[in-house]
């Protein structure tokens, strides 16, 4: 009995330490955006995309500077279905990402891309800044630098 309890004490924290990545459809993301009462920074990325992985710390650091204004970072993974959830959750945990993290369960970019921005052709990284209170909405279909993130968040907050 003691061995079972010891084993559980060892395994449960390890299982709980895996990052939670929720599977969503584009309509779920649209609802999250429409119902948000605070600014959102939504990054479309994948574990295999080097510019995406490079950009995420800039987004995290920028959002952290505005924690008092409830700016939320939303990471929307476009990883392959075979990588969800195991590989994606392990990657997120390893990188220590702090955000709301989704895996987009969509395969037709011609369907979901225009719902984010009419000119988006599916390239990543791509980032959308949204603030429903101010009506701010700006989309970037390229990587952002560390110097671009904070000014963009400030613009969204005005």
- The answer on pLDDT for 74 being more than 80 is yes
Angstrom CA distances, 44 to 8, 9, 31, 67, stand at 36, 36, 16, 21
Mean predicted confidence (pLDDT) in 113-122: 97
pLDDT at 7: 36
Quickly count helices (H) and strands (E) in the chain.
6, 6
pLDDT at 120: 97
pLDDT at 99: 97
Under the banding of pLDDT at 50, 70 and 90, the label for residue 18 is very low
Domain extents in the chain: 20-157
CATH code of 20-157, in short, is 3.40.30.10
- The answer on pLDDT for 10 being more than 50 is no
Within 8 A by CB and 6+ apart from 129, the residues are 39, 40, 41, 42, 136, 137, 138, 139, 152, 153, 155, 156
Angstrom CA distances, 133 to 4, 36, 39, stand at 52, 9, 8
Mean predicted confidence (pLDDT) in 135-152: 97
pLDDT at 95: 97
- What is the C-alpha to C-alpha distance for residues 140 and 155, in angstroms, rounded to an integer? 14
What is the per-residue pLDDT across 88-102, written as a single tens digit (0 to 9) for each? Answer: 999 999 999 999 999
Under the banding of pLDDT at 50, 70 and 90, the label for residue 19 is low
Mean predicted confidence (pLDDT) in 89-117: 97
């Amino acid at each position: 009995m003691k061995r079972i309890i010891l084993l559980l004490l060892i395994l449960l924290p390890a299982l709980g330490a895996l990052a939670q990545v929720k599977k969503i459809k584009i309509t779920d993301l649209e609802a999250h955006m429409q119902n948000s009462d605070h600014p959102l920074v939504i990054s479309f990325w994948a574990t295999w995309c080097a510019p995406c992985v490079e950009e995420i710390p800039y987004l995290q650091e920028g959002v952290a500077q505005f924690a008092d204004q409830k700016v939320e970072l939303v990471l929307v993974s476009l990883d392959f279905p075979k990588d969800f959830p195991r590989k994606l959750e392990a990657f997120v945990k390893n990188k220590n990402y702090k955000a709301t993290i989704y895996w987009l369960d969509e395969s037709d970019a011609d369907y979901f891309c225009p719902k984010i921005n009419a000119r988006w052709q599916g390239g990543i990284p791509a980032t959308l800044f949204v603030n429903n209170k101010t009506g701010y909405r700006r989309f970037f279909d390229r990587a952002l630098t560390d110097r671009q993130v904070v000014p963009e968040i400030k613009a969204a907050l005005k």
